[in-house]
Amino acid sequence: MTAPTDRDLILRARRGGDADKADAFGELVTRYQTNVFNVCYRILHERGEAEDLAQETFMRAYDRLNTFDLEREFGPWIRRVAANLCLNHLESQKTTAELDVERDADESQKPEAITEVRERSEQIREALASLPPQYRVVVELRHYQEMSYDEIAAELKIPLSDVKSHLFRARKILAEKLHASD
Partner 1 sequence: MHLTDVQLNEYLDNETPERAQIESHLSSCDECAARLTALRALFAEIESLPELTLSRNIAARFALSPSLPAPLPRWLTLTATLQAALALIAIIIAAPFVMNLLPAIETPSFTDVFVQIQSQWIALLDILSQIQMPTLPEIPVIELSSLVITLTIAGVSMLWLVGNGLLLRNQIK
Smallest gap from residue 159 Cβ to partner 1 (A): 15
CA dist 10 → 22, 61, 67, 116, 142 (Å): 11, 11, 11, 42, 27
Q: How many residues interact with partner 1 (rule CB under 8 A)?
A: 46
CA dist 147 → 30, 31, 88, 150, 153 (Å): 24, 21, 19, 8, 10
Smallest gap from residue 29 Cβ to partner 1 (A): 4
Q: What distance lies between CA 166 and its chain's CA centroid? A: 17
Question: Which residue, 51, 9, 48, 46, is CA-closest to 34?
Answer: 51
Compute the distance between CA of residue 172 and CA of residue 30 in angstroms, rounded to an integer. 36
- Nearer Cβ to partner 1, position 17 or 112? 17
- Looking only at residues 94 through 133 of this chain, which bind partner 1 when binding is defined by CB under 8 A? 117, 120-121, 124-125, 128
**Contact pattern from residue 23 through residue 62 relative to partner 1, giving x for each residue in contact according to CB under 8 A and a dash for the rest:** xxxxx-xx--xxx-xx--xx----x---x--xx--x---x
Compute the distance between CA of residue 19 and CA of residue 127 in angstroms, rounded to an integer. 44
From 65, 75, 144, 162, residue interacting with partner 1 (rule: CB under 8 A): 144
Task: Point out which residues bind partner 1 (CB under 8 A).
Answer: 1, 3-4, 8, 19, 22-27, 29-30, 33-35, 37-38, 41-42, 47, 51, 54-55, 58, 62, 117, 120-121, 124-125, 128, 139, 142-144, 148-149, 164, 167-168, 171-172, 174-175, 178
